[in-house]
Structures are given as structure tokens and as C-alpha cells.
Amino acid sequence: MSFLRRQVVTAALTANALRPLPGFRPGIPAFMAGWLVGELAPHVLALTVADAAAHVRGPRRDARGLALAAASAAGLTCLVAQARQVQHRAEESLVEALGADYLEQLDAKPTPADLAVPWRRLVNPFRMRDARVRVEKDIAYDPAIGKRGLLDVYSPADGVPDGGAPVLLQVHGGGWTIGNKDQQGIPLMQHLAAKGWVCVAINYRLSPRSDWPAHVVDVKKAIAWTKANIAEHGGDPEYIAITGGSAGGHLVALAALTPGDPAYQPGFEDADTSVQVAVPHYGVYDFAGSTGTRAAEQLRDLFLAPRVLKKRWSEDPEAFEDASPILRITPDAPDFFVVHGAYDTLVPVSQARSFVEKLRQVSKRTVVYTELPGAQHAFDVFPSIRSSHIVRAIDRFLHWHWNQYRREQGRLAG
């Protein structure tokens, strides 16, 4: 490929990352084209600069290609700046919801080094191993459903703290149709496990092979298994936080809002499936189109109905409503930290805004919401500037929440 063509492609990808096309149908290609460029903007910037420098040293110079390279470099620099804004945006959200003194309630305040961009780690963002973390793989929480009933447990390599560690349960995304427990949430789980948490990553049954509500039933089975078994791995069965992105964000929110719902707990109706806090990322909160947006109705009619619920909205609207977290909010909802990208083209940010507004109106508990500038869907799959900042913001929130919980239980002084 010629220098000019490379720069045309880079410029188009950069422009899409900066301002992706909205809408249900263009949203998928806009995401596919913009996600990696947005999260790997420093890498693409370095390659663009290197390519332009090598071209300038050559025998012939293409002015159009160099102009495009300059424009791409400016756009990529803007993407890097947007990603770096997440540190301040997330902190503002935490202070707004928890109070300016919430850092005083942590075991230790974050240092400047804790908050800085971990550039060395980001050089190779796809290297996911961490020597500080031990992983026990393929533990069965439901042997009857084979590999979809397996989970992995992440814990500190040097052992968990005395008294039982707080527990995080991770639910992968993938449009309720694809995905695996070792593909998502890794940066957050490794970060927390290295700091003393026990993290559980689960598989669950997928469509179209399995019909709704098998997906959320499995999430609840995994919660029940965790409460019954996590003490053997050093976790505290009384404290479970739950997180996940996209379809996982939907399942996280729905499971957190429906503890003990017999329709989602067939055969284990009496099991405790409550969680203390939920942290959904870029989740789908409106299966029924109740928010009235065109995007929610298109998702319902063009994807959820034929692929997940396998029935039309007109045939059984109650099934869609029951599966909508925004319609299951009660005053007893647990604490939430909702995270969404401002430029998400797969699940428009309006869903998160509506969900948070309803939570704040109805729930008696804390609701934190942070909207990430320039962020597409799936921004946290691998380490990046943006995901590193949001991982550490979630760390601060969850440690604040864990300490609040222990104070309420009389297990922590102050």
C-alpha cells in the first residue's frame, strides 16, 4: 500500500473515532472502525509520525499524504487528550456522589504515581499476565451446562488478607450470543486481585442455542455458588460486587435489581442472590423500548426479539419489560456505579442517562455515574489510557464501598 493510501485509511479511521456515525445500522461498523483506534491512539500516532518521517527521508514526497498525516496526528493527539480527561471526569463523579471527603475513608489516599498514566504498561496492551495474581481456571458452578457453567477465580498470588477478601463477580459481554469468561474484565480483575480482592469471572449460556432468560438464570446461579463456595478461595461470601460490560452490563444490572426473583431462579428459588454493589459498563438497560428512543426500539425489534428473546414485542411485551433493568428499579436497589462512553454507537449513552436518572429518583442507595468523553463501546477490554483511569476510579469506589460495608457491620472502626 502506498504512503498516500495508508494516510487516507488512517485519516478516515481517526475521523470516525473522533466523531462516529450514529444510528443502529451504521453503529456497528462505526464501532468496529473506531474502537481500536480510539483506545490505541498513542500507538497509531507513533506509527503515523514514524511513517511520515520515513516518507520525508525518501526520494519523493507526497504533499497530499503528508497533509493527511498531519491531520491524523492532530486528531490522534485529540483522542489521547480525551482519554486523559477520564481521570478528572471520573474523580468529579465520585466526589459528586460520595462527597469531597470520600478519600479520607480509604485505607490510603492515591498517590500521584497511582493516578498517572501507566505508560510502560501500555506499550504492549495485549499482555494480560500479572505475576501478582493467581488464576484457578474452569471451576464448575453448574456442571449440567458444560463449559458454559464454568468460572475462573482470580486471587492474590501471596494470599488473601485475614478475615476474608471482598469479592467481585465479572460477567462478560458479547450481545448475549458470543463471549467467554477470559476475554473481558481482565484489567479490572487483575488490578483488584493484586490489591487483595477475590474475583470471579463466569461463563453463561448464550443465544440462539439457549433461550432467554437462561443468561440471567446462570448469573444468579453463579452468585449463589459464590456465596456458598468463595470462602474456600479466601473470599467473604457476605460481600459481593458485580460488574460487566454491554450484554454483561445488562445482566449485571438486572441480577442486582432482582434478588430472589423466582422467575429467574428456577429450582433454586430460596437461594440468596443479592449483591452489595453493581458496576455495569456500557450496559443495555431498556429491552422494552420504554424510554421511547428510536435506538432502543430498533435494538428491541431488530436484534433482541429475533436473536435473544425469540419472540416479538407485540406477542409478549411483559417478557421484554421484565428483562429491562430500568423497569425493575426499587427503593431497595443496591449501590451502583454506572459507566458509559459518550460516543458509544452500539448502546447510545441516552440509555445510561435514563437508567441513572431513574435510579436516583427511586433508589435509596448511592448512585455514581461517569460519562467518558470520546469513549466508544468496549473501552475497557484491554489496558489503555482510558481503561487504566477508569479501573483505578472503580478501585477507589469499591474500596470506599467495602470500608462502608465493614463499618456498617461493625468490622471496621471509625
Chain centroid to Cα 153, Å, comes to 18
H-state helical runs in 99-185 = 112-115, 119-122
Cβ-contact 273, 310 below 8 angstroms: no
- CB hemisphere CA count around 97 (13 angstroms): 25
Q: Given CA atoms 84, 88, 94, 97 in this order, what sign does their dihedral have?
A: negative
Distance (Å, whole) CA 30 – CA 183: 22
Matching residue, cell 487516507: 8
Cell of 370: 461517569
Half-sphere exposure of 174 (CA within 13 A, CB side): 19
**Other beta carbons within 10 Å of 239:** 20
Cα 336–Cα 341–Cα 345 angle in degrees, nearest 5: 125
Residue 332 to residues 276, 277, 337, Cα–Cα distance (Å)? 11, 12, 16
CB 149 within 8 A of CB 222: no
Whether 377 sits among the annotated catalytic residues: the reply is yes
Cis check: omega of the bond before 118, within 30 degrees of 0: no
State the catalytic residue, choosing from 72, 155, 210, 246: 246
Degrees (nearest 5) of the Cα angle 390, 402, 110? 45
Catalytic residue among 55, 377, 389, 399: 377
In the three-class reduction of DSSP (H, G, I as helix; E, B as strand; rest coil), residue 147 is classed as helix
Q: Identify the active-site residue in 130, 335, 344, 395.
A: 344
Torsion of CA 119, 123, 125, 127, to 10 degrees: -120
Q: Which of 98, 94, 46 is nearest to 72 (CA)?
A: 46
What is each CA distance from 354 to 287, 329, 408, in whole angstroms? 13, 12, 30
Question: CA-to-CA distance for 293 and 198, rounded, in angstroms?
Answer: 39
State which amino acid sits at residue 215: H
C-alpha–C-alpha distance, residues 385 and 399, integer Å: 21
Give the residue numbers marked as catalytic: 246, 344, 377
